[in-house]
Every structure is written in structure tokens, then in C-alpha cells.
Amino acid sequence: MTREIRKTVCPHDCPDTCSILATVEDGRVTICDGDPDHVFTQGGLCHKVHRYAERIYSPLRVLHPMRRAGGKGEGRFVRISWDEALGEVADRLQAIAAEYGGESVLPFSYGGTLGLIQRKAGHAFFHRLGASRLKRNICDTAAEEAWLATYGLNVGTDMEGIEHSDLVILWGINAVHTNIHGMHFVKRARHNGARLVVIDPYRNRTARMADVHLMPRPSTDAALALGIACVLIQEGRIDRSYIEANTFGFDAYKREALQYPPERAGEITGVPPEAIRALAREYGRARAPFIRVGNGLQRHTNGGQAIRAIICLPGLVGAFARPGGGALWETFGAFPVNFAAIEGEDLQPHPTREVNMVQLGDTLLTLDRPPVKALFVYQANPAANVPDQSKVVAGLRREDLFTVVHEQIHTDTVDYADIVLPATTSFEHADLYRSYGHYHLQFAHPAIPPLGEARSNLQLFQALAERMGFTEPIFKRTTEELVRDLLAVDHPYLAGITYDRVVSGDPIRVNFPRVGDPFAAGFGTPSGKLEFVSQRLADRGLPAVPGYVPAIEGHERKTPEYPLQLMTPPSKDFLNTSFGSVERMVRSEGKPRLKINPADAKPREIAHDALVRVSNRRGDCLLYAEVTEDVPPGVLVAESIWWTKHHPGGKGINQLTSQRLTDLGECSTLHENLVNVAVVG
Ligand SMILES: Nc1nc2c(c(=O)[nH]1)N[C@H]1C(S)=C(S)[C@@H](COP(=O)(O)OP(=O)(O)OC[C@H]3O[C@@H](n4cnc5c(=O)[nH]c(N)nc54)[C@H](O)[C@@H]3O)O[C@H]1N2
Ligand SMILES: Nc1nc2c(c(=O)[nH]1)N[C@H]1C(S)=C(S)[C@@H](COP(=O)(O)OP(=O)(O)OC[C@H]3O[C@@H](n4cnc5c(=O)[nH]c(N)nc54)[C@H](O)[C@@H]3O)O[C@H]1N2
Ligand code: SF4
Ligand SMILES: [Mo]
């Protein structure tokens, strides 16, 4: 028996980007451990990935190409060869593009792997075809626009340095589920005496650990942040010299904030005014307050400005200038790799139209001139993950839509494919990974050969390009050449990070301060300062100063028909839908659950574990009730994302979510849903 340890990287859409030591016995992965030499991974993995072999060798793995044999959605297929599959896909795409124009083809991909090469592998192909371009906006683009408008660079305080902070605020992030390794640093800070504040509408696992848990109503965080700012300003707990030297537009922001004294902020948010005042004082007194902003709170129609309001707070007290203090949302701005070199945008015949992935439902059902006639899905599971699911499914059922799905696993989306193509897992291909929660990048060599006939995204699109007669050199680049292209940039963060270094497979830190001001060289905004007032936003007709406006499906808009606010944040044992194929994870989660307060359950005669139907104008979904005080009255939580076929009734949680977009960044609004609920039967 051979037994080797191979170093690889977790490919999943998780800020931790762990370095993995995989045990490979006789060519098979057996167990995965965390790399003790990676300062963020610290020798541990989450329990999803610790036994990743269950996912790699899942009975639901797609191992060879297949053609649809039953009706759309039935999931019945017959095996075909790669040669037949590539021939058929190339012929159909060519015929559809010839008849309706290239834009009738829509690529649909998201975060199955965050590896830079595989993630971008289809871009050049679809550009060359003149396909519609996908706006990959489902996750975090509201926060991105807010962060860029305020700070100008997608970087923030390094969590590795927050042991120096004396006040840690986790705002709209269930880090115990979604940033497990980040919590090590939170614990270290607490060990050094820091207090932990969690701001979240429900008592999630992270909130249970907090010294203070504030529970704003969903979609009201801007009012809370402005209430805190109001107290800081009124009580003079601000750093005037920092404001003078490093910020822009204080007076206008002050005018806005003063409209939200704690009484008013309390009325909007449901947080007691004394609690707002107390947090403001604690924040103003702290030596180095740190705010970790999550992705949850942006997913509201007013979410972009809510993030803006929150991330102005460090500007008031000069938190970035104090070691361990400041704020963090994502870190990807610290990896300014040369995507342009590998995306082949110049291959487009003309600038093609863009389609927002959040609006896939309407796109498939109503977009015209040309209609979408071919959908090419890879590393994404839209049948389960995309809002307004009844429309998405109706679109996927269209007999005249040619759907290709390149997948590792037989997902809900695979059921709707005309052609299914087998994809490698990250253990079977090479890639370069950058984190969005820390400041390391890492290259992974394949740990095992591909299973069955699986091919990587890069192999697939290169083979298809050849079939279609695309002869440009970009379609022949090797992984090594592509990585070299990515790293060929002249930027201080990446100075000295060469192909020869990354190919070692060891984690490499970019040149970014671990402790100390991430914006020491200035903010990336037009003024070079932290912008309370953003002229850039104003130029686009958007509010220049962050304010509060009620959300479209916020608590102010409740009706007797739809009196409850539903949020659908991630569960502990799934990663989006990527672990729905793993028995152990499904068992550990139990059932698709709806958390409901006794005050809402009682009048509806909902008992614990009852099967309930949650519904609104968009659709309905069956779940099992969990009657609990962890959610306040008026708020429901369904931790997600279960496969639709694992819900009783076969409809998923995204039946209830909408295609509406955020105020900034055209992101999804997955946590803003007015609904009602009733016992089934
Ligand atoms: N275990 C696990 N880990 C994951 C994922 C997973 O599915 N499972 N998904 C990964 C992905 S793709 C992402 S983007 C991240 C997301 O992870 P997070 O950044 O944690 O963001 P969300 O999960 O959307 O929501 C986090 C919290 O925001 C809260 N929230 C929602 N609306 C509001 C609001 O209006 N105000 C406030 N204050 N809080 C609000 C929710 O109640 C929830 O507790 O996690 C990644 N990690
Ligand atoms: N209601 C609700 N909906 C949500 C969310 C929520 O919180 N609530 N979260 C949203 C968020 S934040 C996100 S990021 C999206 C995530 O949406 P997706 O990016 O669709 O996430 P996954 O469910 O992980 O699906 C990824 C798929 O890619 C496949 N895959 C992995 N690697 C590869 C590869 O190398 N090649 C190919 N071809 N396939 C691969 C996996 O097997 C998996 O089925 O979902 C969103 N949807
Ligand atoms: S899912 Fe996140 S925590 Fe788990 S191994 Fe991957 S990067 Fe680490
Ligand atoms: Mo995400």
C-alpha cells in the first residue's frame, strides 16, 4: 500500500480558504487535515471537509457524459462518449448562435470552486462566441460597491492582528458557521480581554457566544449605525484629528446622523435606545474597536447604504489607525492579479449584453432580442440557489432551451440538462487560490487523477474551443502559462510573488500589513480619504451620504396577508448546496427547518416539528417548524440551502425569495421576504 500526504487547498466559497493535508492511500483520498503551517488554517478543517472523501467518491458523482433520456427535470440520462458530447454541444451552440446571434447563449457559473484558473476558464470561450455576459452578482456586490465608495479598496483589517483589539463587533455574519477560522482570532482577542458584540436579527450560534447581542429587525441596520454615530457625535466621542486628516464629508454625514437619536433609531430597529447608547459609548471608548462586516446584511433592498452607514463608524473614531482596530469585509483587493490576461474580453465581436444572475428566472422566461436559447451551467446550481425559483424552474423546463450542465455531482440543476458533462473536483486538477477572508494565496497540484471521465473546466472549454474552430492562442494556454499571466503584474502587494514560488504549493502571504493601518498609504477613493460623502455615487444619482430608507419588504411594509419577515442564511453543515450530496452532512442538519417564535407559532397552532407551508406571492415551500425564542416575533429563519429535492414537496427555499436587486451593486436581496406560514393539512 502507498500512503502519501498531498497538500491542496479548499476550493469552496468560504472566506477561510484552508490549506489541506490530504492523505492519499493507493491513489485514493482517505482523510483531510488542516495544515498546521498555515497561520489561518491552524491545523484544523471544518467537519464538512475533514471527510471530503465522502464528497469526492459520492454515489452521486457524475462520472461520464450523458444525454437526456426523459422529460426535462426528470433527471434520466443515457451515457454517451466525450466525443459525442462535445460534437453535440458544439453543433448546437453554433446553430443557435447562427440563427439567433451569439447573445442567445448564456453562460451561468458561480462559486463551485474559487480557484482562479478554473473559475475563469470559460470566459474566453464565451467572449469569442459573442455570448451574453453574466453579472455574477448573487453574493456580495452591494457590499463591494459600498466598500469601494467609502474606502476605495477591497481590503481591510487583517483578522490575524485583531488580538490587539479590545472590542470586536460581528455585524451580520454568523461566523461560527461561515468564518470558522476567523473565530480563532476573535477568541484570541477575547482571551486578551476584548468584548464581543454580535448584531444579528436572530440568536444564531455566533450570537450565543457574545457578551452583547443586539437584534435589529431585518433591513434596518442603517438606522442602527446612524443611531450609534449620532451618540458618538453628540457626546464628542470622536477623533477630530483623524476626521480632519483622513476623511471627507464629515459635516454632511453628521447632519444625517443627528437625525437618528437613539429613540428614533430604536423605533425603527426594535433595539432598545439604551442598548444603542451603550454600544456607542463602548465603541467610542474602545482603544481599538474592530468590526467584521458579514455578507448577510447587504442582501436587502437598502443593504448597500446600510453597509456604508456601518463602515463610516471607524472613520469617526479613527479605528484604522489603531493596531487591531478598523473593519473587514473581504480581502480580495489584496490580490490584484491580471484577470484581463486570461479572460479574453478582447475576443468579443462587440460589447455583448449583460444579464444579472439574480434575474435568471425572468431572463429565461421573458428576455427577448434575442431570447436565451442555450444555457451553459458550470460550477453553479441555479435550480436550488437562485431566487424566484418557480420562474427559474419554468425557464429550465422550456423545451426550446438547450441546457448543458458541467458538474461533479448530480444536483437539482443536472435534472434539467440536455447534456451533462462530468467535472473534476479540486483534488483532481491544479489551480491557484486567493482568499477573501485572509491575505494568503496558494497553488494546488492535483492530489489524485480524475475520477471516471471527469474533465476540469479548463480542459472542457479548451476542447470545445477546438471543436468550434477557435484558434486563438488563449485556447491553448497551459495552467502554468495562465498562472504566470495572472501574476504578471507590477503591484507592491504582489512584489516577489512569482510562479516559481507559488508552484511549491505552500501558502504565500501577499505584502500586506498584519497589524497596522490597511489604509496607511491612503484610501482608494477619489479624495484619497474615507468618504462619508461619495461624489461617485452622487454622479450616478444615488444618495451621496448613507441614510435609512425602509426596505421594500421590510417590517414597515408588513400586511395582514404577509406579516412575517423571512431570512435564509447559511446552515452549519452545508456550503450553499455543495454538501447536499453528503449523507453525513444531511443527517447532521436533520430536516429543512423553519425557526419561528412561540408568539407567531401559537396563534397558527404550529407545534414543534409540525410540517408548515411558508408562502408569499412568489411561491411556497414546506419545512418543519422549530418553535424557538432564538428568533424574535415577526421574524422567521430557514437556515439554508437544502436541495429542493430534499424539501418535502420538492420545492426549495428560493421559491420565496425575489429577483429584486439591492440599492448599490445590483446584488440579491435573499434575506428580505415578507411571507406567511400555516400548518400543512
Ligand atoms: N457553513 C457554511 N459556510 C458558508 C456558507 C454556507 O452555506 N454554509 N456560504 C458561504 C458563502 S457563499 C457566503 S457569501 C458566506 C456568507 O456568510 P455570512 O457573511 O455569515 O452571511 P449570511 O450567511 O448571508 O448571513 C449572516 C448573518 O446575517 C444575518 N442577517 C441577515 N439579514 C440581516 C440584517 O438585515 N441585519 C443584520 N444585522 N444581520 C442580518 C443573518 O441572520 C445571518 O446570521 O458564507 C460562506 N460560508
Ligand atoms: N435562499 C438563499 N439562497 C442563496 C444563498 C442564501 O444564503 N440563501 N446564498 C447565495 C450565495 S451567497 C451564493 S455565493 C450562491 C452560491 O451558489 P452556487 O455557486 O451555485 O453554489 P453551490 O451550491 O456551492 O454550487 C456550486 C456547484 O458547483 C459544482 N462545482 C464545484 N467545483 C466545480 C468545478 O470545478 N467545475 C464545475 N463544472 N462544477 C463545479 C459543485 O458540485 C456544486 O454543485 O447561492 C446563493 N443562494
Ligand atoms: S469550507 Fe471553509 S472552513 Fe471548511 S475547509 Fe473549506 S475553507 Fe476551511
Ligand atoms: Mo456567497
**For the chain, what are the domain ranges?**
3-56, 66-137+337-423+452-474, 142-329, 555-679
So what CATH class is 142-329?
alpha beta
pLDDT at 173: 98
pLDDT at 642: 98
Which of 110, 458, 675 is the best mutation target for the ligand 2 pocket, counting ligand atoms within 8 Å of the beta carbon and taking the most? 110
Express as a percent the part of the chain with pLDDT over 90: 100
Res. 249: pLDDT tops 90: yes
In angstroms, the CA 413 to CA 378 distance is 10
In this structure, the residue with its CA closest to atom 6 of ligand 3 is 10
pLDDT band for position 626 (cuts 50, 70, 90):
very high
CA distances, 594 to each of 465, 625, 636 (Å)? 46, 5, 7
In angstroms, the CA 359 to CA 43 distance is 40
Pairing outcome for strands 419-422 and 402-407: parallel
Ligand 3 contact via 38 beta carbon (within 6 Å): no
Peptide bond into 641 cis (omega under 30): yes
CA distances, 129 to each of 133, 248, 344, 468, 542 (Å)? 11, 45, 11, 9, 35
Q: What sign results for the dihedral spanned by CA atoms 678, 679, 680, 681? A: negative
pLDDT at 658: 98
In angstroms, the CA 153 to CA 518 distance is 10
Task: Over range 615-619, report the average pLDDT.
Answer: 98
Task: Over range 335-344, report the average pLDDT.
Answer: 98
Express as a percent the part of the chain with pLDDT over 70: 100
Ligand 3 contact via 175 beta carbon (within 6 Å): no
Ligand 1 contact via 569 beta carbon (within 6 Å): yes
User: Which residues share a beta bridge with 6?
Assistant: 22
Compute the distance from residue 572 Cα to the ligand 1 centre, in Å: 11
In angstroms, the CA 140 to CA 524 distance is 19
Q: Burial of 80 by CB count in 10 Å (0-12 exposed, 13-18 middle, 19+ buried)?
A: middle
Look-up: residue for cell 411558508? 614
In this structure, the residue with its CA closest to atom 36 of ligand 1 is 297
Residues within 6 Å of ligand 2 by CB: 13, 110-113, 118, 138-139, 378-381, 385, 406-409, 411, 423, 457, 568-570, 575-578, 640-641, 653-654, 657, 670
Written as one letter, the residue type at 498 is T
pLDDT at 536: 96
Ligand nearest to the CA of 668: 2
Compute the distance from residue 202 Cα to the ligand 3 centre, in Å: 24
pLDDT at 212: 98
pLDDT band for position 681 (cuts 50, 70, 90):
confident
Ligand 1 contact via 139 beta carbon (within 6 Å): yes
Ligand 1 contact via 306 beta carbon (within 6 Å): no
Compute the distance from residue 314 Cα to the ligand 1 centre, in Å: 22
pLDDT digits 0-9 by tens, 303-322: 999 999 999 999 999 999 99
pLDDT digits 0-9 by tens, 475-485: 999 999 999 99
Compute the distance from residue 117 Cα to the ligand 4 centre, in Å: 19
The whole model's pTM is what?
0.98
Atom of ligand 3 nearest to the CA of 11: 6
In angstroms, the CA 105 to CA 102 distance is 6
Ligand 3 contact via 180 beta carbon (within 6 Å): yes
Ligand 1 contact via 13 beta carbon (within 6 Å): yes
pLDDT digits 0-9 by tens, 346-376: 999 999 999 999 999 999 999 999 999 999 9
Which of 379, 426, 568, 581 is the best mutation target for the ligand 2 pocket, counting ligand atoms within 8 Å of the beta carbon and taking the most? 379
Ligand 1 contact via 213 beta carbon (within 6 Å): no
pLDDT digits 0-9 by tens, 465-521: 999 999 999 999 999 999 999 999 999 999 999 999 999 999 999 999 999 999 999
Ligand nearest to the CA of 438: 3
Res. 118: pLDDT tops 90: yes
Atom of ligand 1 nearest to the CA of 576: 7
In residues, how long is the chain? 681
Res. 247: pLDDT tops 90: yes
Out of 3.40.50.2300, 3.30.200.210, 3.40.50.620, 3.40.50.720, the CATH code matching 3-56 is: 3.30.200.210
In angstroms, the CA 458 to CA 628 distance is 47
pLDDT digits 0-9 by tens, 557-608: 999 999 999 999 999 999 999 999 999 999 999 999 999 999 999 999 999 9
Compute the distance from residue 486 Cα to the ligand 2 centre, in Å: 24
| Closest to 424 (Cα-Cα) out of 186, 181, 115 | 115
Compute the distance from residue 665 Cα to the ligand 3 centre, in Å: 27
Which of 178, 300, 330, 332 is the best mutation target for the ligand 1 pocket, counting ligand atoms within 8 Å of the beta carbon and taking the most? 178
Task: Over range 340-351, report the average pLDDT.
Answer: 97
In this structure, the residue with its CA closest to atom 24 of ligand 2 is 578
Ligand nearest to the CA of 581: 2
Q: What is the CATH number of domain 66-137+337-423+452-474?
A: 3.40.50.740
Q: Are 590 and 575 in contact (CB under 8 A)?
A: no
User: Which residues share a beta bridge with 666?
Assistant: none
Which of 48, 51, 113 is the best mutation target for the ligand 3 pocket, counting ligand atoms within 8 Å of the beta carbon and taking the most? 48
| Closest to 675 (Cα-Cα) out of 605, 607, 622 | 622
Res. 149: pLDDT tops 90: yes
Q: Are 618 and 657 in contact (CB under 8 A)?
A: yes
pLDDT digits 0-9 by tens, 169-202: 999 999 999 999 999 999 999 999 999 999 999 9
Q: Mean pLDDT over all residues of the chain? A: 98
pLDDT at 198: 98
Compute the distance from residue 204 Cα to the ligand 1 centre, in Å: 10
Compute the distance from residue 518 Cα to the ligand 1 centre, in Å: 24
Q: What is the fold of 555-679?
A: Barwin-like endoglucanases (2.40.40)
pLDDT digits 0-9 by tens, 452-461: 999 999 999 9
pLDDT digits 0-9 by tens, 46-86: 999 999 999 999 999 999 999 999 999 999 999 999 999 99
In angstroms, the CA 442 to CA 431 distance is 9
In this structure, the residue with its CA closest to atom 13 of ligand 2 is 139
